[in-house]
């Protein structure tokens, strides 16, 4: 059914590209009960597809260990998912590290069935080596690199790198659009990136609750209905290869 919706394109498919819904794997959901509450809230707001993207920090573990832990977390949640119409796709939020382009198992961290790699740039000052390596992942290695929540990272001198990075898809957090302090820069990024995308980056039901629909309202109000539809289509295209392969 979902594949049909994506093929038709004109029918709305709501995708949350960035979440921490898997239980007890990172600083996201603290257990299956929380995961289910998050997913129930998403279902009430007509979310169709959720990418489960736990943090991956190379300095803490290798890819193999991460994948084993992610599979264990998914096993805890999967039996309860039968009552949901939401599709879950496993992925990762990969924190950039020097040498990432040499990582042989990097493709395993993409959203399953796709080349879509959610990449979190460092919170410290970026340099030209890092920017070159990220661009090389996209242009030389064929990854569909999505920079996650750049609005949280482009403080101070990092802003000057944005012009080079705007050719990449960028995923803004819905929460950044809700707050007046961050709304302007979040909207600016959505307008400038080649492929604007939205995610909730939800972690729990309190301080980082699911809120994709709140962000969508702001996009529609500030940038227009067509912009929102184009953004939905961008998200569908990032995941299309998964749905055509199943
Ligand atoms: Fe995240």
Ligand 1 centroid – CA 55 distance (Å) = 7
Query: What's the structural domain count of the chain?
Result: 1
Ligand 1 centroid – CA 28 distance (Å) = 9
The pLDDT value recorded for residue 130 is 97
Ligand 1 centroid – CA 93 distance (Å) = 6
Ligand 1 centroid – CA 111 distance (Å) = 14
Ligand 1 centroid – CA 4 distance (Å) = 29
Averages of pLDDT over runs of 10 residues in the chain (246 residues) are: 48 89 98 97 96 98 97 96 92 97 96 97 94 96 96 85 94 97 95 97 97 98 97 95 76
Q: Three-state SS for 203?
A: coil
Ligand 1 centroid – CA 88 distance (Å) = 16
Residue pair 138/113 in contact by the 8 Å Cβ criterion? no
Give this prediction's pTM.
0.94
Ligand 1 centroid – CA 197 distance (Å) = 14
**CATH code (residue 137):** 3.20.20.140
Ligand 1 centroid – CA 20 distance (Å) = 6
Which residue, 172, 171, 177, 209, is CA-closest to 45?
209
Residue range(s) defining the domain that contains residue 120: 2-245
The DSSP secondary-structure symbol of 13 reads -
Residue pair 167/140 in contact by the 8 Å Cβ criterion? no
Neighbours of ion ligand 1 (CB under 5 A): 93, 201
The pLDDT value recorded for residue 4 is 47
Query: Which ranges of 45-197 would DSSP assign to H, the alpha helix?
Result: 63-77, 128-139, 162-165, 174-178, 180-192
Ligand 1 centroid – CA 173 distance (Å) = 9
The pLDDT value recorded for residue 246 is 57
Ligand 1 centroid – CA 120 distance (Å) = 8
Ligand 1 centroid – CA 69 distance (Å) = 17
Ligand 1 centroid – CA 80 distance (Å) = 23
Ligand 1 centroid – CA 121 distance (Å) = 11
> Beta strand 93-95 with 55-56: parallel, antiparallel or unpaired?
parallel
Ligand 1 centroid – CA 164 distance (Å) = 23
């Amino acid at each position: 059914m979902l594949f049909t919706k994506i093929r038709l394109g004109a029918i709305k498919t709501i995708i949350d590209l960035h979440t921490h819904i898997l239980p007890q794997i990172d600083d996201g959901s603290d257990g299956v009960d929380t995961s289910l509450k998050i997913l129930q809230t998403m279902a009430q707001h007509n979310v169709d597809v959720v990418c489960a993207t736990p943090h991956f920090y190379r300095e803490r573990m290798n890819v193999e260990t991460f994948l084993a832990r992610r599979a264990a977390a998914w096993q805890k949640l999967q039996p309860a998912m039968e009552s949901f119409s939401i599709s879950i796709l496993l992925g990762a939020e990969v924190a950039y590290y020097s040498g990432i382009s040499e990582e042989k198992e990097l493709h395993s961290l993409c959203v399953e069935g796709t080349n879509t790699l959610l990449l979190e740039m460092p919170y410290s000052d970026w340099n030209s080596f890092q920017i070159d390596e990220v661009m090389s992942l996209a242009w030389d290695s064929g990854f569909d690199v999505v920079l996650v929540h750049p609005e949280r990272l482009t403080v101070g001198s990092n802003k000057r790198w944005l012009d080079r990075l705007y050719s990449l898809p960028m995923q803004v957090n819905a929460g950044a659009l809700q707050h007046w302090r961050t709304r302007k820069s979040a909207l600016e990024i959505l307008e400038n990136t080649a492929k604007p995308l939205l995610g909730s980056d939800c972690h729990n039901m309190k301080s980082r609750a699911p809120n994709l629909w709140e962000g969508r309202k702001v996009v529609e109000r500030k940038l227009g209905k067509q912009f929102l539809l184009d953004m939905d289509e961008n998200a569908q295209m990032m995941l299309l290869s998964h749905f055509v392969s199943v």
